[in-house]
Amino acid sequence: MPLPQVIVMATGKGGAGKSALTRSLAAHFLATKQNPAIVDADPQASIASLHDADGPMGKIPVIADPEAETVQASIEDLVAKHRPVLVDTAGFRNQTTIMAAIRADLVVIPLKPSAEDIREAVAMYELVGELNQIPERKGNPIQVVMVMTMTTPGTVIVRQIRKELEEKGFPLLEAEMTQRVVYPELSMRGLAPSVVDPESAAARDIAKIAMEIVKRGGAHEQVHAA
Ligand SMILES: Nc1ncnc2c1ncn2[C@@H]1O[C@H](COP(=O)(O)OP(=O)(O)OP(=O)(O)O)[C@@H](O)[C@H]1O
Ligand SMILES: [Mg+2]
């Protein structure tokens, strides 16, 4: 299954784990000898501002572009030489995220185990469904998956949310981005688990997420109404 070319992390809920997931997937694809790049499309520039060009993730190009008018061109610049191009977006609904999603092969929607996160994740899923109706995407639908973040595995709340989302037919990944202190610790240095300790539990979580993304993001899973 081919690696999706453009992967956009998106949800209108702030703090759901978009930036941590973007950085972690970039680290994973670098560590596994792919050639990733990042577009930081969040006006807060949380990835671009902490990126260390001399550090272990320095080889990954990062373009900061929060503008709806130019974000697709920024993605295009990187697509010429990089795969995957990972796009981090703002923690609120905006036009830049929509433009990035229109250019995506795959939209990844992260959600914490909370009611607000679920609501915004469903809204983003439905938005992708609408975008798939525009002429540009007819016959070439944007794929979409949801992934649970900051979970404590085996807890009742996580099980309940998983059951609910799966029963409603949402494409929820099996793998979860478990709650681990290593993410905020490493993010302060602009880093992520796979380049620091590829054998760590966090790096293994991310590897599982990446594997499922490749598997499901390559398949033509149709977005349907909830
Ligand atoms: N799996 C995790 N375990 C523990 N902490 C995490 C995890 N994922 C993210 N975090 C931390 O939670 C906070 C929010 O995550 P992050 O910044 O990635 O969310 P975001 O969706 O990008 O937020 P925003 O909408 O503000 O851009 C950060 O401090 C981050 O380091
Ligand atoms: Mg962010």
In a domain, 226, yes or no: no
**How far is ligand 1, taken at its centre, from the CA of residue 110, in Å?**
10
State which ligand 1 atom lies nearest to the alpha carbon of 91.
25
Pocket lining for ligand 1, CB < 6 angstroms: 14-20, 42, 46, 91, 149-150, 177-180, 183-184, 187
Domain CATH code at residue 142: 3.40.50.300
Nearest CA to ligand 1 atom 14: 15
Q: In 17-114, at which residue ranges do the beta strands (DSSP E only) sit?
A: 37-40, 62-64, 85-88, 106-111
Residue 8 φ/ψ, nearest 5 degrees = -110, 125
In a domain, 202, yes or no: yes
Name the residue range of residue 36's domain. Answer: 6-217
In a domain, 179, yes or no: yes
In a domain, 222, yes or no: no
Cα dihedral sign, 25-196-16-87: negative
Taking phi first (over 0 means left), then psi (-120 to 50 degrees means alpha), and beta for anything else, what does residue 150 get?
left
Closest listed ligand to the CA of 21: 1
The pLDDT value given to residue 154: 87
Q: Can you tell me the distance from the alpha carbon of 213 to that of 206, in angstroms, rounded to the nearest whole number?
A: 10
Nearest CA to ligand 1 atom 13: 15
pLDDT along the chain (226 residues), means of 10: 92 98 98 97 97 96 98 97 97 96 98 97 98 95 97 94 96 97 96 97 98 77 48
**How far is ligand 1, taken at its centre, from the CA of residue 154, in Å?**
21
User: How long a stretch of residues is the chain?
Assistant: 226
Rg (Cα) of the chain, in Å, rounded?
A: 16
The pLDDT value given to residue 1: 65
Nearest CA to ligand 1 atom 7: 150
The pLDDT value given to residue 218: 57
Terminal C-alpha separation, the chain = 27
Identify the CA nearest to 106 among candidates 78, 135, 137, 80: 137
**How far is ligand 2, taken at its centre, from the CA of residue 46, in Å?**
6
In a domain, 1, yes or no: no
Q: How many domains does the chain have?
A: 1
**How far is ligand 2, taken at its centre, from the CA of residue 159, in Å?**
26
Degrees to nearest 5, angle at CA 119 with 116 and 120: 90
In a domain, 26, yes or no: yes
**How far is ligand 1, taken at its centre, from the CA of residue 184, in Å?**
7
Nearest CA to ligand 1 atom 6: 183
In a domain, 69, yes or no: yes
What pTM did the predictor assign?
A: 0.96
In a domain, 225, yes or no: no
Q: Can you tell me the distance from the alpha carbon of 67 to that of 57, in angstroms, rounded to the nearest whole number?
A: 25
Residue reference for tokens 């970039």: 26
The pLDDT value given to residue 17: 98
